[in-house]
């Protein structure tokens, strides 16, 4: 039996010797490589936090001491040490989640994987412990250096340093990368700490001291000019700005030295007040393919060969992201006003290709979606046309800025939302299911949902040509799939994909749901029900021809992969009533609930959004005479 197999909970670590802990760390890394290679997942980040997580669980008493991971993709080692060692169905239905999940274990506190929130959680939890007299309980927040680029981190830090009577430990896991190399002034400062000669000499001298003293040697821990005040002052060169901050600082600590890590945490624990422990780690540690991956050091992988790190995905079909990436380069080559902006996700959103061609016209603002949106408004005012590319789930964080900074000022900014709709294995916090409902309430916004690669290119070009307000282009995760040409296009840009000789059902497909709608039409035809299928292309505002086509049908069914509460179907219903059209409307979409991790296909079946299910429901409505008859369709289509 391996050492790892004997660890059923954190207290099993207590009796292990130094040599056994080193062996355990090696076994954990081997376990991660072999298992994540089979299922896919976040490999690089977890290889980098092995010793740190072991030290955390030896020094602190989870779950009595609350551990918060920012972000949760670096919690795999935590799962292993808290008794969850069946990774065979990681990120699959019924298996372990890819992030902390309360239903899995009492050791998991915060489920959301949106970055830069851990310090606010830690602030609140530690205040609650203090207010309820639980002064022997600690809160440990693990925050990556990339999360320090998020404004919420600094809002929390401002409040944490206002009250020093709490047992709160902040571990800054500094590996110089979030998804990719961390950017900005803070990153540059941390890099000088990480690479300066004094740090290397300090570490080596401390290890010599350890050998002589029989203990870890306090010399390894050194404040930077008197704590965080000096730490931040050296970063900003502005002593006055941070003069009121008062928090202990330990570091930098070698994050892969178990003895040094453990001693640093014990020292932090003993302060009885907020402490920052600055630990320097290597993302992808111990796995050479990850270390050689300059792009993101195997931040997130699909199925791979564990020996070589080569992907086992043989698909040659282009992804939505790659189509967008190539089109941005093409558009930027002919339009010098285009600027790309992303929030610490240059490669995941595809903007890296534009950055390679036009480096001066691509901005990575770090994990700061709010800043990205407002900065884009400023760029638009200055004569540029920014394209802000983020995951759909992360646009939620910048809603106020889209509303008040971009839309109110009629700024020509295009937001490109990758991973829209059901994303699958990443679970509740990563489904991009709220964007349609949230953004359509923004006055003057125009929102497009391409059904295939051709329409993505087409609609992106149309979006960046708009300079009097915000535009949005959203598309899902994965391959673009089959293309569907329209039978005709109306004057206001609606594509009629299938036109029925009868006026029974009008299927309004949002984006990639077009393929489902066409299959529904085929199934209905077999039952004698005629269905017209349209793709509005631009779903907000609702094109006039959608209203006119609806007027001539007995039933309108909207199909979208966003939440149906306040979704596009609701907007169509309201606009129909406003135009005096009495055609019945059925809105199909995602339920207003958090959807657990599973494959996209499993989720779509569960919520009834497969073609056979939709066709069956529509047929049942006609069979039950729940659909009124209407007159012949009108010729006018806007």
- Does 335 belong to an annotated binding site? no
Burial 91-109 (b: 16+ CB within 10 A, else e): bbeebbbbbbbeebbebbb
- Does 145 belong to an annotated binding site? yes
- Does 407 belong to an annotated binding site? no
- Does 73 belong to an annotated binding site? yes
Residues with catalytic annotation?
283, 369, 397
Q: Which residues pair with residue 248 across a beta bridge?
A: 275
- Does 229 belong to an annotated binding site? no
- Does 99 belong to an annotated binding site? no
- Does 199 belong to an annotated binding site? no
Q: Which of 139, 135, 137 is nearest to 124 (CA)?
A: 139
- Residue 371 — φ and ψ, nearest 5°? -60, -40
- Does 310 belong to an annotated binding site? no
Is-cis flag, bond preceding 491, omega within 30? no
Block residue for tokens 């992360």:
394
Other CB atoms closer than 10 Å to residue 593's CB: what's the count? 11
Rounded CA-CA distance 427/509 in Å is 25
CA 328 to chain centre: 21
Query: What kind and span of H or E run contains 568?
Result: helix 568-578
- Does 481 belong to an annotated binding site? no
Rounded CA-CA distance 83/89 in Å is 15
Q: Using DSSP, state whether 205 is helix, strand or coil.
A: helix
Q: Which of 80, 156, 107, 164 is nearest to 130 (CA)?
A: 164
Q: Where do runs of H (alpha helix) occur along 335-389?
A: 352-357, 369-381
- Does 175 belong to an annotated binding site? yes
Q: Which residues pair with residue 590 across a beta bridge?
A: 563
Rounded CA-CA distance 556/551 in Å is 9
Identify the burial level of 133 via C-beta atoms within 10 angstroms of its C-beta, where 0-12 means exposed, 13-18 middle and 19 or more buried: exposed
Block residue for tokens 């979409």:
589
Rounded CA-CA distance 584/565 in Å is 17
Rounded CA-CA distance 354/340 in Å is 8
**Binding-site annotation, residues:** 73, 113-115, 145-147, 175, 287, 369
**Binding-site annotation, residues for thiamine diphosphate:** 73, 113-115, 146-147, 175, 287, 369
**Binding-site annotation, residues for Mg(2+):** 145, 175
């Amino acid at each position: 039996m391996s050492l790892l197999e004997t660890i059923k909970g954190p207290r099993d670590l207590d009796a292990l010797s130094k040599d056994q802990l080193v062996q355990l760390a090696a076994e954990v890394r081997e376990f991660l490589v072999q298992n994540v290679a089979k299922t896919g997942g976040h490999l690089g980040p977890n290889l980098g936090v092995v010793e740190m997580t072991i030290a955390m669980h030896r020094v602190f008493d989870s779950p009595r001491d609350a551990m918060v991971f920012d972000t949760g993709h670096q919690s795999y080692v935590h799962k292993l040490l808290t008794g969850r060692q069946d990774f065979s169905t990681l990120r699959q239905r019924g298996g372990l989640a890819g992030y902390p999940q309360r239903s899995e274990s009492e050791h998991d506190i915060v489920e959301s994987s949106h970055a830069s929130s851990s310090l606010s959680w830690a602030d609140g939890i530690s205040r609650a412990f203090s207010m309820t007299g639980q002064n022997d309980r600690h809160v440990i927040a693990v925050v990556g250096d990339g999360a320090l680029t998020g404004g919420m981190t600094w809002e929390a830090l401002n409040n944490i340093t206002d009250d020093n009577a709490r047992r709160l430990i902040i571990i800054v896991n500094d590996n110089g990368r979030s998804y990719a190399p961390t950017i900005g002034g803070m990153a540059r400062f941390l890099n000088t700490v990480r690479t300066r000669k004094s740090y290397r000499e300090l570490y080596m001298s401390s290890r010599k001291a350890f050998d002589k003293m029989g203990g870890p040697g306090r010399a390894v821990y050194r404040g930077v000019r008197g704590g965080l005040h000096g730490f931040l002052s050296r970063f900003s060169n502005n002593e006055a700005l941070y003069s009121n901050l008062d928090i202990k600082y330990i570091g930098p600590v070698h994050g892969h030295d178990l003895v040094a890590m453990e001693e640093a945490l014990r020292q932090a624990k003993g302060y009885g007040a907020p402490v920052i422990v600055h630990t320097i780690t290597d993302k992808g540690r111990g796995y050479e393919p990850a270390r050689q991956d300059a792009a993101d050091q195997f931040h997130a992988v699909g199925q791979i060969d564990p020996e070589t790190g080569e992907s086992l995905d043989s698909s040659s079909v282009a992804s939505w992201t790659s189509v967008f990436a190539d089109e941005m380069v093409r558009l930027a080559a002919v339009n010098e006003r285009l600027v790309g902006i992303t929030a610490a996700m240059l490669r995941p959103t595809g903007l890296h290709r534009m950055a390679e061609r036009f480096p001066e016209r691509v901005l990575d603002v770090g994990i700061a979606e709010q800043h990205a949106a407002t900065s884009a408004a400023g760029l638009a005012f200055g004569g540029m046309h920014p394209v802000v590319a983020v995951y759909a789930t992360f646009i939620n964080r910048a809603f106020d800025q889209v509303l008040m900074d971009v839309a109110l000022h009629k700024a020509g900014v295009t937001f490109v939302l990758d991973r829209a709709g059901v994303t699958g294995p990443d679970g509740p916090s990563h489904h991009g299911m709220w964007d349609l409902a949230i953004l359509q309430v923004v006055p003057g916004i125009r929102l497009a949902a391409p059904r295939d690669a051709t329409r993505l290119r087409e609609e992106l070009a149309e979006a960046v040509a708009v300079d009097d307000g915000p535009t949005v282009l959203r598309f899902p995760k994965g391959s673009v799939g089959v293309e569907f040409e329209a039978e005709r296009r109306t004057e206001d840009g609606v594509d009629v994909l299938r036109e029925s000789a009868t006026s029974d059902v009008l299927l309004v497909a949002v984006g990639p749901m077009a393929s489902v709608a066409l299959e529904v039409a085929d199934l209905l035809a077999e039952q004698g029900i005629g269905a017209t299928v349209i793709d509005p292309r631009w779903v907000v505002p609702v094109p006039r021809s959608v209203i006119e086509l609806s007027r001539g049908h007995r039933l309108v069914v909207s199909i979208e992969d966003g939440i149906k509460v306040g979704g596009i179907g609701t907007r169509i219903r309201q606009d129909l009533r406003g135009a005096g059209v009495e055609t019945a409307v059925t809105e199909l979409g995602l339920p207003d609930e958090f959807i657990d991790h599973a494959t996209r296909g499993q989720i779509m079946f569960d919520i009834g959004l497969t073609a056979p299910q939709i066709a069956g429901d529509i047929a049942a409505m006609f069979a039950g005479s729940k659909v009124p008859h209407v007159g012949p369709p009108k010729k006018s289509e806007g």
